[in-house]
Amino acid sequence: MTSTVSKPDRRHDLDWIRVGAFFLLILYHVGMFYVPWDWHVKSPHPVPALEPVMMLTNPWRLTLLFLVSGAATRFMADKVTVGHLTGARVARLLPPLLFAMFVIVPPQSYYQVVEYAAAHPGWSGSADGFWLKYVTASGHWCSPQGCLITPTYNHMWFVAYLLVYTLALAGLLLAWRRLGEHLQVAAERVLSGLGLILWPILFLGLLRATLYVRYGETHALIGDHYVHAVSFSAFLLGFGLAKSEALRQRLIAVRWPALGLAVVAYVAWASFVYIYRGDTPIPSAGLKLAMRFVQPADAWCAIVAILGFGAKHLNRGGPALRYLTLGVFPFYLVHQTLIVVAAHHLAKLGLPQPLEALILIAFTFAGCLATYEIVRRIPGVRLLFGLKGQSAAVASRPPAFA
């Protein structure tokens, strides 16, 4: 079968989707402060009704990001040698990961310890001399639910996984230089007709019914078999479909049916999670098994709809996209720490919760923007925030959106 290939330098629609997905991630992590689910710091007034809202993006947001990351890697891999690709990606991902683990993330763990200590009088853990204990793994911050292991990467697990997947891909490319073309041909063959919707749902559902049941999601890198199976598959799929005009047209064609299926699956999945939250027993094994496939149906149909609408309507680049595409990595690095620190202190003010949430959102985005504007102008610091090399003159320019 001959692949239908278009060879753009990049896909503006995928750039816009990446930016939008990361911004939704910021809002999602703000929501984590309020929803009753476990997180680093928690609002003293949790909002159970927020759970269905959080479920809007929960099934698909990170799978989509891995897919888009795989597509971006394809564009780079086709231009350079495997060695250059590996070196460039390690230089882009590893310094921010290490910097975050030892500088950006520690405040998250600190306030996690502080809040746990406040909620559990008599707890033996202490936040005194925190950073030294954090970097030497000597804090002994343990609770009945487990111990806080430090140093940790918290939200930077995505970057750690992306680095590992890139190295794995580089190994595959050394053995199979035309991997991208062959993955593209395979994807075009399998993802045709009803297969565009059906086969990924079955694949993801089987993973959820087997690996997820046994291993869950840990983000601990080692032993996180379910997350690796889903995320690395999405990464390779993105690598394969990045330059396929055939798949791009198919995604556009099915965007509306996919959106409708995603909505139906979301309603079923979110209702299930909300009704049977906490210790509420699930009445039958059959219902539980069915939901193992409903969640992937929600996830994959939402991804198809997003890719289809993006391919149809988000084909323009420009200064705003260039600015945001470069800035999204610094935003990602600092956003969760800004949320954790601000939320911990805002909660003590006794503000009306809607006002508190608006302030938290505004502060987080303003802090991310300020961080980006500062670090992009400092040559030695840009590397720590994953920014591509720029001349001092270009990096010092104010943002241009027209």
The per-residue pLDDT for 120 is: 82
The per-residue pLDDT for 307 is: 98
Alpha-carbon radius of gyration of the chain? 22
DSSP category for residue 102? I
For residue 95, what are the β-bridge partners?
none
The per-residue pLDDT for 388 is: 74
The per-residue pLDDT for 165 is: 98
The per-residue pLDDT for 123 is: 73
The per-residue pLDDT for 390 is: 55
Regions of the chain with pLDDT less than 70: 1-9, 122, 124, 389-402
The per-residue pLDDT for 397 is: 59
| Element (DSSP H or E) covering residue 147 | strand 146-147
The per-residue pLDDT for 398 is: 57
The per-residue pLDDT for 396 is: 57
End-to-end CA distance of the chain: 43
Q: Among 395, 399, 393, which Cα is nearest to 385's?
A: 395
Q: Crossing angle of helices 285-313/12-34, nearest 10°? A: 140
The per-residue pLDDT for 144 is: 81
The per-residue pLDDT for 121 is: 79
Name the pTM for this structure: 0.94
Domain boundaries, the chain: 12-105+153-395
The per-residue pLDDT for 209 is: 97
Q: Among 290, 323, 89, which Cα is nearest to 209's?
A: 290
